Amino acid sequence: MHPVVPNPETLNAQTCWSCVKEIDKAAHFCPHCAKLQPPADSDYFSFFALQRRLNIDANALEKEFYKLSRKLHPDVYARASSEEQQWSTQKSSLLNDAYRTLRDPIARTEYLLELEGVKLEEQSRAATDEARKQGKDKQQVVPPDLLEEVFDLNMQLDEMRMGKKMGERDEQIAKDLQSAKIRFERMLASSNDDLRKLWNEWDQVIASGADIADPQRIAVRDEIVALLNRRSYVRNLVRDVNEVLATEK
């Protein structure tokens, strides 16, 4: 017979439901009786027992993912209690989401910023598409150092679009746009380096034990937000240029 499984809501999160010994809050399995534990109220980092750092050992993460996939797999619990079956399903799905998010450098960074209280919604692809559908320009703050260039670029884009409607193509503007595009793509590439530098700064702040309200922690966080905004802005520009340059048929 299976032991009676208590409702996880009423559980002390640090007590194993089965052997009632004290265990780590984030533990997936009891170190004493090896029983699967109910899903804890955890974020993707703590699911993998990781600190909120941005440099992640991708190989170690992958190994841990496969290890946990095997151990949490619902097949393993086919003959266990219905609660344990449910937990294994919930945890397996959480595991997949956590892994998909953490292994991707940008998704990981955005996720961490969300945990730190930043809303990046407006930068998302979905928000851009939605604004376009409504015929509006998405409200995006132009990075100050790009103001002038973006102003010129938008004029050229408009001219190209207009020419397209008339069935004309201004080869000089097309050439200008092409070289603007190359410049923006270089910017994107160098923003990756800048992002990595900020990751290191962030990890140092975390290693120093700074809490979530620490001014330095907030300062680095906001620098990362500005960089991601700029990155997404430039990426949208590249997309606009590509759209306009694409020749029909």
Binding site for Zn ion (CB under 5 A): 16, 18-19, 30, 32-33
23 or 228: whose CB is closer to Zn ion? 23
Q: Considering the complex, what minimum distance in angstroms separates the CB of residue 33 from Zn ion?
A: 3
Q: Which residues does 130 contact at the CB level (< 8 Å), separation at least 6?
A: none
Pick from 100, 111, 102, 101: nearest CA to 56: 102
Residue 144 neighbours by CB under 8 Å, 6+ apart: none
H-state helical runs in 124-170: 125-133, 147-165
Q: How far is the CB of 27 from Zn ion (least distance, A)?
A: 9
Q: How far is the CB of 37 from Zn ion (least distance, A)?
A: 8
Give the residue with the Cβ less far from Zn ion, 32 or 175: 32
Q: Which is nearer to Zn ion, 17 or 99 (CB)?
A: 17
Q: How far is the CB of 64 from Zn ion (least distance, A)?
A: 21
- By beta-carbon proximity to Zn ion, the closer residue of 16 and 195 is 16
What's the min distance (Å) between Cβ of 6 and Zn ion?
13
Q: Which residues are CB-neighbours of 132 under 8 A, at least 6 positions away?
A: 138
Rounded Cα distance, 44 and 115, in Å:
10
Q: Report, in angstroms and rounded to the nearest whole number, the Rg of the chain calculated over CA atoms.
A: 25
Contact present, 245 and 178 (Cβ < 8 Å): yes
If the CB atoms of residues 80 and 174 are measured against Zn ion, the closer one turns out to be 80
